[in-house]
Amino acid sequence: MATQKPKVQPKAVKTEKAVTATSSVSQSRDILPFTKMNYILLLVGIGMISLGFFLMRGPFVDSKTFSVPLHISPLLVVGGFIEIVFAIMYKPRTPKSEA
């Protein structure tokens, strides 16, 4: 004869912990890592990079004379990348509470 294994009942879960876990998850979803200002700075950086690459399309002039594609455009592109890094790292100041 085959022996039957006893059925294992799952342990009861306390509802208090489930509620607090659910509320902490919903609170963490409410807090976004980026603010509106982060997105604005990010768009400015993307615009700077796009403008720099657009200006680089211009006619190449000899390096002895000043030309926008040779002198200004690379600085604009590098500045755009720096702006994007700043936009990612930017965190708004929180007002200090006086005690």
Q: Are 49 and 74 in contact (CB under 8 A)?
A: no
3-state DSSP call for residue 73?
A: helix
Residue linked to tokens 């807090």:
31
Q: What is the pLDDT of residues 33-45, one digit of tens each?
A: 889 999 999 999 9
pLDDT attached to residue 61? 75
Q: Is residue 29's pLDDT more than 80?
A: no
Q: What is the pLDDT of residues 49-79, one digit of tens each?
A: 999 999 888 887 777 888 888 889 999 999 9
Identify which of 32, 52, 37, 38 has the alpha carbon closest to the alpha carbon of residue 85: 38
Please indicate whether residue 18 or residue 74 has the higher confidence score (pLDDT). 74
Q: How many residues are listed for the chain in this entry?
A: 99
> Could you tell me the pLDDT band of residue 86, with boundaries at 50, 70 and 90?
very high
Identify which of 32, 27, 39 has the alpha carbon closest to the alpha carbon of residue 90: 39
